Chains A and B, each alone.
Chain A
């Protein structure tokens, strides 16, 4: 079995035959030829051909002319050779560019979409009935939008309820006669634009029209500050 250094010397074989080795490597290879039967036989066997290859002006001309002919002629061919060289697929620039596009295009699109959207933070507040001592405050400094969620124990899914939000001075700022967005857990939600609302106390009143005055109205209180 040949060692790796000997195998490396065996690789110099054809470079030796065509006279392409430096003086130092040529000597190394000739020393190698003294003991490597495979290389010696191979060089000896091919000697008539390698001598002819080195000496023949006809062959030199063929190679030189062939190189000129295989050089890319048009810009398309140059581009093709640049994008698809004779290397494994993963190292071809065409593959790398494609990979880059696959990664970059969605990223750029999402960035453009994000730039076009006025993203603002939204406050979420769970309202609880006025019977509770908790004070719920929406802060105008935090955002202009607020999402209020409220639990109404008698609420039924897909049934219409009346929702009214009034300021402490009696002004109605939100009214929905047919609110039917309670979910199966008797919880509803509304989005409120608080930007133009004056600070103060507000009441959210929920009433079931079908029950008339039989039941008490559910009132939730919150503050805008």
Chain B
């Protein structure tokens, strides 16, 4: 689905396009909010962001990218939500970091066991992935990991994605190679 095209159609008064934008963004906003916040308010925040977007998009100037603009609205809504919960401005960025790993209830033991078994296999087969993963677990970000592993960012992302593919193969077929 071409979001920018839908946006252009909606601006011309196409109600169907407007409705499609709402449904499309509501799903994605829910997902993104859920990545950051673990409360029952996820849907409310996503819905509020969508409503704001629909009320303002006609006034939006064409030079801005639609998805960047939509994301900025969502980001503001999340910020406001956290503020309403009396999170101070200075803590906001920390909070944003912390909520990357929000407590989402107990871990699914079966998933954990299968993942663990697959990761054990991958470590010996593809140690560079394990090393990158280990540094990420230690809290390092991509640029720092690249420095520690003495690799370029592109190589880092390739290592991660190759590791992910091996992991998926292992989870789906029980072996790391297709």
Residues of A within 8 A of B (CB): 11-15, 17-23, 25, 27, 30-35, 37, 40, 43-44, 46, 48-49, 51-56, 58-60, 62-64, 66-67, 69-70, 86
Instruction: Quote the shortest CB–CB distance from A73 to chain B (angstroms).
Output: 14
A14–B119 touching, CB < 8 Å = no
14 contacts between A and B (CB under 8 A): A11-B161, A14-B157, A20-B132, A20-B135, A22-B142, A34-B71, A43-B31, A48-B108, A51-B104, A54-B101, A56-B115, A63-B130, A63-B137, A67-B127
Shortest Cβ distance from A50 into B: residue: B164
Within 8 Å of chain A (Cβ to Cβ): is B67? yes
State the CA gap A19–B160 with chains docked (Å).
Answer: 12
Of the candidates A13, A20, A54, A59, the one whose C-beta lies within 8 Å of that of B119 is A59
Contact with A along B74-111 (1 / 0, CB 8 A): 01000000000000000001001100110010011001
Q: Chain A residues near B124: list those with CB within 8 A.
A: 66, 70
Interface of B is mostly: helix
Within 8 Å of chain A (Cβ to Cβ): is B178? no
State the CA gap A85–B119 with chains docked (Å).
Answer: 21
B120–A62 touching, CB < 8 Å = yes
A63–B123 touching, CB < 8 Å = yes
Q: Chain A residues near B70: list those with CB within 8 A.
A: 34
B123–A21 touching, CB < 8 Å = no
Q: Chain B residues near A48: list those with CB within 8 A.
A: 108, 111
Within 8 Å of chain A (Cβ to Cβ): is B51? no
Q: Chain B residues near A11: list those with CB within 8 A.
A: 154, 157-158, 161
B107–A60 touching, CB < 8 Å = no
